Chain A
Amino acid sequence: MTIEIRKPELEALILEQMRHGQDVEDILMRAFQHPSSERADKRPDWRSMRGMARGGQESLTQALMKERAAENAHDETRV
Chain B
Amino acid sequence: MTKRESEAGKPKIIDSWAMIAWAAEEPGASAVQDLFERAESDGLQLFMSVLNVGATFYILAKRRNAALAEQFLNSLPSLPIRIDVPDQDGVMAAARVKASHTVAYGDSFAIALAQAKGGSVVTGDDEIRRCALVPADWLGDQPSVSA
CB pair A50 B33 closer than 8 Å = yes
Complexed CA–CA distance, A54 and B20 (Å): 10
Chain B contact residues, majority secondary structure: helix
CB pair A44 B78 closer than 8 Å = yes
Q: What bracket does the count of chain B residues touching chain A fall in?
A: 35 or more
Q: Within 8 Å CB of B127, what residues of A? A: 68, 72
Q: B54 CB to closest chain A CB, in angstroms? A: 12
CB pair A53 B24 closer than 8 Å = yes
B residues near A, CB below 8 A? Answer: 16-17, 20-26, 28-29, 33, 36, 55, 59-60, 62-64, 68, 71-72, 74-75, 77-80, 102-107, 124-125, 127
Cβ contacts A to B, 29 pairs, < 8 Å: A43-B78, A45-B75, A45-B78, A46-B79, A49-B79, A50-B23, A50-B25, A51-B24, A52-B71, A52-B75, A53-B24, A56-B24, A56-B64, A59-B26, A60-B20, A60-B21, A60-B26, A60-B59, A60-B63, A60-B64, A61-B20, A63-B59, A64-B20, A65-B17, A65-B125, A68-B107, A68-B127, A71-B104, A72-B103
